[in-house]
Amino acid sequence: MTKTEVREYQWIKPDKEKCISCGQCVNFCPRDVLRLGEDGFPYMKYRDDCWYCDVCTYICPKDALHLEEIPYLIK
């Protein structure tokens, strides 16, 4: 998979209009799943380790992260 393909297959989606690239979502992720990309926006580097706890969406000061879809395994 290329970097682009990996980033397309994520459950956490940043709103690039609202995101200020502060890194709070990365800092507070309890499973260390998120990273800031070269473009300054968060992405799920280790998406298989995500607990879907939603901490990243709650901690975001600009409400710029959204949990798009939870994988079928935990629905």
Q: Tell me what pLDDT residue 39 has.
A: 92
Q: What is the CATH number of domain 3-70?
A: 3.30.70.20
The answer, yes or no, to whether residue 19 has pLDDT greater than 70, is yes
Average pLDDT over residues 50-67: 92
Q: CA of 36: how far to CAs of 15, 47, 53, 72, 73, in Å?
A: 14, 14, 19, 26, 27
Average pLDDT over residues 38-47: 92
Task: Identify whether the C-beta of residue 42 lies closer than 8 Å to the C-beta of residue 12.
Answer: yes
The answer, yes or no, to whether residue 38 has pLDDT greater than 60, is yes
The answer, yes or no, to whether residue 4 has pLDDT greater than 60, is no
Better pLDDT: 28 or 70: 28
